[in-house]
Amino acid sequence: MRQTFGSDGPFEDMYGYSRAVRVGPHVWVSGSCARDEAIVPDAYAQALDALRVVERALAEAGGSLGDVVRTVAYVTDIRDTEKVAAAHRSVFGDVRPAATLVEVSALADPHYLVEIQADAYIES
């Protein structure tokens, strides 16, 4: 059974995607960016808020950050690696999912510094 979850993100309807999709025990959370007042010129703050968006999507799908098995972070400036890594480490702690971080030339809004997607496995 396929379930989709939205978060009223600014691009979901325009682009035609779901914040998260769950099929059986697998959940894929779309790339998520900081929201509203968290869109500040600080990659650490943006990464924390993006991970909160991921956390809310997982909760709606019946999971938690502890179920995450993989993340991918996209940054517009590779020099922000340590800031994004610090946010990731503070949120995931001992979960330690497989992770990738890559630099991209731009994200959907020029104010975004980081976007994070996550894959999770929720055991029933």
List, in order of start, the domains of the chain with CATH numbers: 2-121 (3.30.1330.40)
Which residues, other chains included, contact 37 with Cβ-Cβ below 8 Å and sequence gap of 6+? none
- C-alpha 7/C-alpha 56 separation (Å) is 8
Comparing CA positions, the residue from 119, 10, 33 lying closest to residue 84 is: 33
Per-residue pLDDT of the chain (124 residues; tens, 9 = 90+): 999 999 887 788 888 999 999 999 999 999 999 999 999 999 999 999 999 999 999 999 999 999 999 999 999 999 999 999 999 999 999 999 999 999 999 999 999 999 999 999 999 7
Give, in order, the Cα–Cα distances in Å from 94 to each of 60, 68, 90. 22, 11, 9
